[in-house]
Amino acid sequence: MNEQSEAVVAEQPAPIAAASSPAVETKTAGEPILQAKNVDLFYGAAQALWDVSLSAEAGKVSALMGRNGVGKTSFLRAVVGEQPISGGSILFDGKPLGRMAPHDRARLGIAYVPQGRDIFPLLTVKENLETGFAPLKRADRTIPSDIFDLFPVLDSMLRRRGGDLSGGQQQQLAIARALVTRPRLLVLDEPTEGIQPSIIKDIGRAIEYLRDKGTIAILLVEQYFDFVHELADTFAVLDRGHVVASGTREDLDPEKVRRHLTV
């Protein structure tokens, strides 16, 4: 692969106008919504990602695994536009994202649930959900009702402040807020981290429900192997910025993957 030519492609942002109605666009299960090709990423002189390729399809969960510090969050930040790439390209619906800003990627339908969740502690649950309206056209600014079917606890806590919720409830709120944006690509960074087992199950069920809708691609970063093993359709394992294993669920060799997850 000619990395130089891929890097040139990466400089050409996709036209915003072509992608302004995420709510009405649909995608058949099986076509890649996201394609990252040969991505290199640097922090100053330090390279964090080398030649990383990965795709995410509608109706599927694509998992990215690896231990702390191997580059998982860096990759997600590149996808959502928070960190520029130096080589390779990231395509959404076949169009290179280039240096498109995060808010424009959100308008395209890319929603990010970061590690640490970034809930607004002084805003109520309802107000936190409404921050998800930002990339939507006025007519679409409603909270989809299935969010409360997925996370009933949020319905009963709409007037509570985000900061008063437990860690697990905040994680559910962060996912719900991402869903308010009607994403076509949902990017989740370690949603099980520090969460109690019963809520991990709820989050797993929510991800299954979203996958089974068939229109959303889910990119899931995780270190919790059993969670990934149950949910993922495809996986990639990162080690020091390199993809060291990848394939479908059937290809997944639990022992090999576990070796890459233990310190």
Ligand X SMILES: Nc1ncnc2c1ncn2[C@@H]1O[C@H](COP(=O)(O)OP(=O)(O)OP(=O)(O)O)[C@@H](O)[C@H]1O
Residues found near ligand X in the complex (CB under 6 A): 43, 48, 66, 68-74, 115
Long-range contacts of 45-48 (CB under 8 A, 24+ apart): 47/241, 48/74, 48/241
Least separation in angstroms between CB 115 and ligand X: 6
Counts of helices then strands in the chain (DSSP H, E) = 10, 10
Q: Which is nearer to ligand X, 72 or 107 (CB)?
A: 72
Q: Which is nearer to ligand X, 42 or 133 (CB)?
A: 42
- HSE, side-chain direction, 13 A CA sphere, residue 50: 11
Report in angstroms the alpha-carbon separations of 19 from 108, 110, 135. 5, 11, 12
Least separation in angstroms between CB 77 and ligand X: 7
Report in angstroms the alpha-carbon separations of 84 from 7, 100, 171. 11, 9, 27
Q: Which is nearer to ligand X, 27 or 72 (CB)?
A: 72
**Which tokens is 44 given?**
């100053």
User: Comparing C-alpha atoms, which of 182, 202, 259, 237 is closest to residue 54?
Assistant: 237
Least separation in angstroms between CB 154 and ligand X: 26
Q: Which is nearer to ligand X, 19 or 245 (CB)?
A: 245
Least separation in angstroms between CB 64 and ligand X: 9
Q: Which is nearer to ligand X, 44 or 197 (CB)?
A: 44
Least separation in angstroms between CB 118 and ligand X: 14
